[in-house]
Amino acid sequence: MDIRYPRADSAPSYARFSRDYLLPNKPVIIGPSLISSWAAVRRWASEDGSINWDYMKTTYGSCEVTVADCSTRDFSDQKRNQMLFRDVVSLWQAGQGQSLYVKDWHLARALITAGENGLNTDPFYTTPDIFRDDWMNAYYSACTDDDFRFVYVGAAGTFTPLHRDVYTSYSWSTNICGRKRWWLFPPDQTHLLFRKGGEEHLETAYDVRNVDPATYPLFSQAKPIVVEQGPGETIFVPSGWYHQVENLTACISINHNWCNSVNLPSLYDSMCAKVTEVEHALEDVKKLLSETAASRATDVAPSESQRSWEDEWIAICQDVVEKDAGWNWLTFWRMVRHALALAMDRPHQANETLWPRTPRELMPPLDFIKERIRDCRGKFMQRPQREVALVPTLDVMLADIHQLLEATD
């Protein structure tokens, strides 16, 4: 265990968490007092601290879950299948399926939205106050049928390969039962993690425990923070930190990806990088569209032909970005507009059942929030790709954000 890894035995206040960890973008492990009130702590664990499989199987067995097979590899991830949770647990109880890992299980949302299926809909946890300022889950809960709130359940030895969370979002993860080992790489080591060539859009190392030095020649220079997380402990993974996680014992954890005004600049930069990556990958498509438009230029005005193929090019890129990472520019700015309206207490779509409104005292000052949004919006308006003019309804969304930014609180 690395002694440099900061720990907080007691649950910090929002002010302390913001000052010591969120703003400086530093990790921390927080002791069990943070989640002592959770029903999951009492129900999911047996008296000896092991997983209460009978309770889990009886209560949630009818849920369909995504199961990764950690003995396989599918590009930068593992092969996944859909199974009923009770069938996975039955395999584990029979001493089988030791490479199976239930991942990205949207259990909290399922229990709220599908109570008619006979599931136990009692909430099994509440988001700690220090993590309540969460733009991603506030927006997705109110405006989509998706979210970034997960339960993970895996046998000893299962793992999640090296990765960075979507668009450099934060994450927090609480062990209900079991122990995990984390490898965390600060952002200034990111360039050391990639395949020879060093371009960030290329593949990172898959498993930090087995890295080919010929393929990843700089990896040996990386100095990760390695830490073990025990039962009841919560880890905060800062924005942009690559990490890998291994279950040292059978584990159940509750995880969120999240973002807010503090890491908004990082998310914006990551979005720009993703769009550039997709544009480079689709250069042949761009060339084909341009040449096709040029061949038709005798039939239409040149300016109209130019506009037409550029519109199509931007639309294709944004579609690929969304399919690859789950977001595109329209999603990003919708989320920002939603968060700004809520922070200003303006009437706006919200789902208090799925995501209770965040109190003002659990977020940065409004001036800070506005300044972060204003800076990102200003940069976006200057982008040479002109997405603001070419992505349908995006100009309206940005105009709404501008009006909110200029309004008095």
β-strand partners of 204: 194
The pLDDT score that the predictor gives to residue 346 is 87
Pairwise CA distance, residues 3 & 228, whole Å: 11
Least confident of 123-137, 283-297, 321-335: 283-297
CA separation for the pair 405, 409 (Å, rounded): 9
**pLDDT above 90: residue 311:** no
Inter-residue contact 354 to 147 (CB < 8 Å): yes
Region of residue 75 (left: phi > 0; alpha: psi -120 to 50; beta: else) = left
Least confident of 76-80, 90-94, 291-295: 291-295
Write down the pLDDT at residue 209. Answer: 98
User: Over the stretch 191-212, which tens digit does the pLDDT of each residue have?
Assistant: 999 998 755 556 899 999 999 9
CA distance linking residue 11 with residue 105, whole number of Å: 26
Radius of gyration of the chain (CA): 23
Please tell me the pTM assigned to this model: 0.93
pLDDT tens, residue by residue, 230-285: 999 999 999 999 999 999 999 999 999 999 999 999 999 999 999 999 999 999 99
To the nearest whole percent, how much of the chain has pLDDT over 90? 78
Cβ-contact 157, 247 below 8 angstroms: yes
The pair of structure tokens assigned to 360 is 């003002």
- Residue 388: per-residue pLDDT: 87
Instruction: Write the pLDDT tens digit of every residue in 9-66.
Output: 999 999 999 999 999 999 999 999 999 999 999 999 999 999 999 999 999 999 999 9
CA-to-CA separations, 236 to 91, 132, 172, 337, in angstroms, rounded: 32, 13, 5, 26
For 345: left if phi > 0, alpha if psi spans -120 to 50, otherwise beta; the answer is left
Q: Are 237 and 172 in contact (CB under 8 A)?
A: yes
**Structural domains present in the chain:** 7-258 (2.60.120.650), 263-406 (no CATH)
Beta strands in 238-275 (DSSP E): 242-247, 251-258
The answer to whether the CB of 226 falls within 8 A of the CB of 183 is yes
Would you state the structure tokens that stand for residue 28, as one six-digit string?
């921390």
pLDDT tens-digit readout, 92-121: 999 999 999 999 999 999 988 766 455 556
